[in-house]
Structure 1
Amino acid sequence: MVQTLSDTIVALSTPPGAGALAVVRLSGPDAVGITQALFSKKNLAGQPGHTLHYGTLREPASGEILDEVVVALYRAPRSYTREDVVEISGHGSDFIVRQILAAFLRQGARLAEAGEFTKRAFLNGALDLAQAEAVADLIAADSALSHQVALNQLRGGFSDELRGLRAQLVQFAALLELELDFGEEDVEFADRSGLARLLAEVQGVVRGLLRSFELGNVIKNGITTVIAGRPNAGKSTLLNALLREERAIVSAIPGTTRDFIEDEVSIDGLRFRFVDTAGLRDNPADEVEAIGVRRTRERIGQAALLLYLFDLTELTPSEVQADIAELTAALPKLPALAVGNKRDLASPAQLAAFQALAGENQTVEIISAGQRQGLEELQAALLAQVRGAGLAGAGSATIVTNVRHARALEEALGYLAAVEQGLAQGRGTELLAADLRHALAALGSITGEISTDDLLTSIFTQFCIGK
């Protein structure tokens, strides 16, 4: 990715394709001058920032009108990139956009690379690296909770917490470095007992952030909910009912579903990824169904939530409990929700038996997927399960959602543990200072206080062009 900030970049910032409006954005020292070369209405150079100007864009040589536009001016440093920024709102025609971009390129602008506007915001100090990555998360947010978490990170919540940790560690690191400068004097400037207390405190915070990553991954990627059960329990019917569309093939023939069918739905701001699976039975009809059953068990091992669906008219409460126990035997922390289907066909005695089971520390929901009955209660039960796992209030908390951040925290924790061990063993100042420097570097890499060109390229090329 080009590193210079001396040129002016341009890109379409709205999605490509025909639409009512299209926004073309320029950023750089010549953004206003390049726009002025095409803009016929006013002298933009004399206009203040944060103002709008209506006029036409024309080809400088021929005077041909390209479009009627509204030009928004943002003067450095009060702009997204802290450079002069111009945003041109015109008509959303692919042809018009191509003509405008070509005209700006002829005036000396160059096409922006992926994420280059946000990269300039980072390089110019408007955002740190964690905040810049939150911009991409905010654009990709497709649920209320993922939006809240990304917005909290963009506003600097995560960064502020990291800066506080680093500031405390930097003080001790500086004292250790000072000891190295006076190595022949055999003096200690850094209070070892104070450093030990600080290390314990910082490690506790870092461990808490790492624990939040599991929750953050669920928020960012959706709550994987596997719908499992015996053949003909109505799993595909339930998936269709939850999605409100005929996504899966429904048949009375056992073993119809041979492989996963996945789709997503938002429930009260939380994104659930439902996975319809092959029916579980001990004697599959053929090799293909047997593979499907094996994959179902593997997929349960990767789930955040198990929805065990059973036919109220076929199984007894003890059989349901035995099935759930068998499926979760190796996954004691996996939340499991028992859902009895076909309540419209069940007898009063069968319904009563499972309603009694619901009072024995086993969550049981009674529905009819085919008749679309009990779905609101089922959705409420799903929300209760995941909120009980720590999602309540997550939008305002500091949650780690980025794999790169989690790896950096793990690296920092390893070096902090090494410093702690070194203190306990009485290691020399040089070794303590080296491990502490590595820990500070790992924490600094999250916010970009310590970064490399390769790291920046890897991050910003994942952005869309125009952002």
Structure 2
Amino acid sequence: MIHNDSIVALATPSGAGAISIIRVSGQNAIEIGASVFKSIKNKNLAQQKTHTLHLGHIIDEGKTLDEVLISIFKGPNSYTGENTIEISCHGSTYIQQQIIQLLLRKGCRIANAGEFTLRAFLNGKLDLSQAEAVADLISSDNEASHQIAMQQMRGGFSNEIAKLREELLNFASLIELELDFAEEDVEFADRTQFHELLNRIEFVLKRLIDSFAVGNVIKNGIPVAIVGEPNVGKSTLLNALLNEERAIVSDIAGTTRDTIEDELVIGGVSFRFIDTAGIRETKDVVENIGIQKTFEKIEQAQVVLYLVDGLELMVDGALDSLIIALNKTQNQYPQKTILTIINKKDLISDKIIVATNEKLTTNNQQLATIFISAKNKEGIDELKNKLLSFVNTGALRNNETIVTNTRHYDSLLKALDEIQKVKFGLESNLSSDLMALDIKEALYHFGLITGQVTNDELLGNIFANFCIGK
């Protein structure tokens, strides 16, 4: 899998721009660059020091393609660990294509997706979890996901795993040594210390596994479904949250017949709001399809905003009907966070608000209720703060390791299972040879995370999701 040939790719987004960067990496990268570059001071590019910049022109058989800056990074002190150059040229797509085609004729090949980072991993510049964090960093679109990706790229997660793996490996070596002296019936591994280590590993693994629930929603955004009967103000609420006219607002019941989705970052965390069709009995075929989609979106959402028209609470028996509906929804979706939003606060009396609060308090609904006026944007900030409180951002504030990668999560679960088997074996005085098998399995799953254990299929799956120039 290790290649020494030189690869080339556009490192900046495709399309026209002020400047573009073309990256070349490989054993002959600098020599290839020198063969097409003419310095304004007649420098020989191949003889220049690492981490230097040089101004000149790209020349193709006497024809000047562009005035460029070339950066030189000599291996192993480069991103890939190989000789690397980066050509900063003007951002014309024609210039980009002409320079890349020239480099291909000079001996480069087009890089595969993620091949620069793959080479960094193979050359020991990054471990596998750090390499995956590069892709997460590129795709991060809010403060929280950026912070997590930066921490993992700096090695916070892999260092924690590597330390546990090393300690377990040391005990595994002692267990294996006991097997070599089985006839003498000696113990090289202190069972008390080993038990303490297993408890510590189990604790750390459980913490990392639990963090995935937070990490996954931070990375992918938290889906929030806005549901309720027709004309309660769902589309108005979506527009108020986004501070733009995203959804059509009308007094006609059933205006929203399909789901409308948009994203908003609150406190560094992405929330994906979904405006749904109003839930009611109708003979309209198209509207019924929209209502069916509403229930589908509720299933997919993590948080449900149950919107109620505050004016309807002035009708006798309306509060009791609301409580019945809330309890029914909560029972139907017990795993979801359901927040009751009473809209049109500006049109209802304080007496109704007090009565509603008292009634909901009696039925243990108080902590999940907010009064707003979507039309006047009153209570929207309170709603945003409430949504943010549903996310455990304490781990972010404390800079704790948070798992966001499904592959890591799967390996952690399997490693925990093997550690618990080892722990059970130790407490049951199981023979060393049987415990050794479970320890090897745990070490294997640790190794999958950081890349001590790899295969071409695994690496192919990981780096296939990268962009070409990275």
Q: Which residue of 1 aligns with 2:88?
A: 89
Distance 1:324 1:240 in 2: 24
Q: Are residue 448 (structure 1) and residue 446 (structure 2) matched? A: no
Deviations 1:325-363 (A, max 9, x none): 221225445333222212333344334434656877334
Question: Match of 1:234?
Answer: 233
- Map of 1:8-47 to 2, 5 A cutoff? 8-41=6-39, 42-47=43-48
Is the contact between residue 338 and residue 362 of structure 1 (CA under 8 Å) also seen in structure 2?
A: no
1:310 matched residue in structure 2: 308
The correspondence for 1:338, drawn from 306, 315, 340, is 340
**Equivalent in the alignment of 1:63:** 62
Deviations 1:211-251 (A, max 9, x none): 11111111000011111222221112211222233333333
Deviates more, 1:27-36 or 1:298-307: 298-307
Distance 2:433 2:23 in 1: 51
Name the amino acid aligned to 1:339. I
Name the CA distance, whole Å, in 2 between partners of 1:355 and 1:325. 16
TM-score (norm 1): 0.92
1:461 aligns with 2:464: yes
Q: 1:27–1:86: 8 Å Cα contact kept in structure 2?
A: yes
Return the offset for 1:48. 1.2
Instruction: For residue 273 of structure 1, give the secondary structure of its aligned residue in structure 2.
Output: strand
Q: Distance in 1 between matches of 2:209 and 2:274?
A: 27
Structure-to-structure mapping, 1:289-328, within 5 angstroms: 289-290=287-288, 292-315=290-313, 316-328=318-330
For 1:160 and 1:284, how far apart are their aligned partners in 2?
58
Q: Which amino acid aligns with 1:107?
A: K
Match of 2:426 among 423, 426, 430: 423
Distance across 2 between alignment mates of 1:151 and 1:211: 20
Unmatched 5+ stretches in structure 2: none
User: Are 1:222 and 2:221 matched, yes or no?
Assistant: yes
Tell me how far 1:160 sits from its aligned partner.
0.9
Give the whole-Å Cα distance in 2 for the aligned partners of 1:319 and 1:392. Answer: 38
The corresponding residue for 1:182 is 181
DSSP 3-state at the match of 1:436: helix
* Maintained 8 Å contact 1:263/1:274: yes
Contact 2:178 2:187 in 1 (8 A): yes
Q: Assess if the C-alpha contact under 8 Å between 2:4 and 2:27 holds in 1.
A: yes
Q: Which amino acid aligns with 2:239?
A: N
Matched residue, 1:369: 374
- Conserved in 2, the CA contact under 8 Å of 1:27 and 1:81? yes
Matching residue's letter, 2:71: A
Q: CA offsets, 1:408-454, max 9 Å, x none? A: 01111111122122223333222110111010010110000111111
Residues 300-336 of structure 1 show CA distances to partners (whole Å, capped at 9, x for unaligned) of 3432222121111013444444333221225445333
Q: CA deviation at 1:292?
A: 4.3
Residue matched to 2:389: 384
Give distance in 1, aligned partners of 2:228 and 2:320. Answer: 15
Which of 395, 402, 408 matches 1:399? 402
Contact kept in structure 2, 1:354 and 1:364, CA below 8 Å = no
Change (3 A) 1:317 1:148: farther
Tell me the CA shift for residue 392 of structure 1. Answer: 2.8
What is the alpha-carbon distance in structure 2 between the residues aligned to residue 111 and residue 79 of structure 1? 19
State the SS of the aligned residue for 2:223: strand
What is the CA–CA distance in structure 2 between the aligned matches of 1:7 and 1:413, rounded to whole Å? 41
Q: Which residue of 2 aligns with 1:193?
A: 192
- How many Å apart are 1:79 and its aligned residue? 1.2
For the Cα contact (< 8 Å) 1:7–1:109, is it kept in 2?
A: yes
Distance (Å, rounded) in 2 between the aligned partners of 1:35 and 1:317: 76
Which letter maps to 2:385? A
* 1:421 alignment partner AA: F
Letter in 1 for 2:331: A
Q: Indicate if the aligned counterparts of 2:2 and 2:122 stay in contact, CA closer than 8 A.
A: no
Tell me the secondary structure at the aligned position of residue 80 of structure 1.
coil
1:171 alignment partner AA: N
Paired with 2:112 and 2:71, the residues of 1 have a C-alpha distance of: 22
For residue 400 of structure 1, give the secondary structure of its aligned residue in structure 2: coil
Alpha-carbon separation, structure 2, partners of 1:297 and 1:101: 51
Question: Secondary structure of the equivalent of 2:79?
Answer: coil
2:395/2:402 contact within 8 Å kept: no
SS in 1 for 2:32: helix
Q: What is the one-letter code of the residue matched to 1:381?
A: K
CA–CA distance in structure 2, aligned partners of residues 357 and 171 of structure 1: 62
Q: Note if contact 1:313-1:350 (Cα within 8 Å) is conserved in structure 2.
A: no
Structure 1 residues 72 and 357: alpha-carbon distance in aligned structure 2, compared to 1, 3 A threshold: farther
Q: Hey, what does 1:433 align to over in structure 2?
A: 436
Task: Structure 1: give runs of 5+ residues left out of the alignment.
Answer: none
Q: What is the Cα deviation at residue 7 of structure 1? A: 0.9
Q: What is the rounded CA distance, in whole Å, between the counterparts of 1:102 and 1:208 in structure 2?
A: 50
Deviation of the 1:202 alpha carbon: 0.9
User: With structure 2 as the length reference, what TM-score do the two structures score?
Assistant: 0.92
- Cα contact 2:395–2:401 (8 A) shared by 1: no
Moved more, 82-91 or 366-375: 366-375
Distance across 2 between alignment mates of 1:84 and 1:209: 37
Structure 2 distance, partners of 1:269, 1:144, is 5
CA distance in 2, matches of 1:307, 1:436: 47
